[in-house]
Chains A and B, each alone.
Chain A
């Protein structure tokens, strides 16, 4: 079954710790994205990647880092520099940029 898998679904971390969220897709899509959802804020773009070994900052990239070493994988690291890391994180992919994006089930990160 093709799709996007985010893991884990729920994640708890202590303040000041870095944490990495996993995103894997087997749709053979070139483009991948990370969005963050907060109540009343919609979906805000953190980072995106058009192709392997390339990625660009989105609107709210501060405190986050990504890598795109494989076409299938686009992990997101939430660093200790991110001031408000508690949120619902969504990974998505599309065949190429600017086309219909398919989303994973999301990871709820809670920093305590």
Chain B
């Protein structure tokens, strides 16, 4: 059973507009969440993370929001740029539980058109 779900396989956005990528999780023990960006035939690169003690974390154009009661997080990219076109993976883990690796969602392919 999937513990981390990204229900939208793809998202298309125009350059300059906001991109919102969503992620849901089922394991209430998860307390640390990350977003990765991946280009084809390359390894994922870390974008931004958030701990469950926060509900928002911002880094430049990227902001992650966490709604613990809904077990939902989202990544906002503002403004979107063509170079943002990639697959975005949400990941989660239990930060203080030994032996727990990152659990990834299936990813959302973002396409930003100019």
Contacts of B103 in A (CB 8 A): 45
A20 to chain B, nearest CB (A): 19
B residues near A64, Cβ cutoff 8 Å? none
Hey, which chain B residues are within 8 Å of A50, CB to CB?
A: 98-99
Q: What chain A residues lie within 8 Å of B97 (beta carbons)?
A: 98
Interface of A: prevailing SS? strand
Question: Within the complex, what minimum Cβ distance (angstroms) separates A34 from chain B?
Answer: 10
Query: A-B contact count, CB below 8 Å?
Result: 61
Contact B32 A98 (CB under 8 A): yes
**B49 partner residues in chain A, CB cutoff 8 A:** 100
Closest B residue by C-beta to A9 = B41
Contact status of A100 and B46, CB under 8 A, knowing A40-B9, A40-B106, A42-B104: yes
Q: Which size class do B's interface residues fall under?
A: 20 to 34
Flag the segment in B11-19, B58-66, B69-77, B87-95 that touches A. Answer: B87-95
The 8 lowest CB-CB distance pairs between A and B, nearest first, are A103-B43, A42-B106, A43-B104, A98-B93, A48-B101, A42-B104, A98-B95, A103-B44
- Residues of chain A touching chain B, judged by Cβ–Cβ distance below 8 Å, are 4, 6, 33, 35, 40-45, 48, 50, 56, 58, 88, 90, 92, 97-106, 108
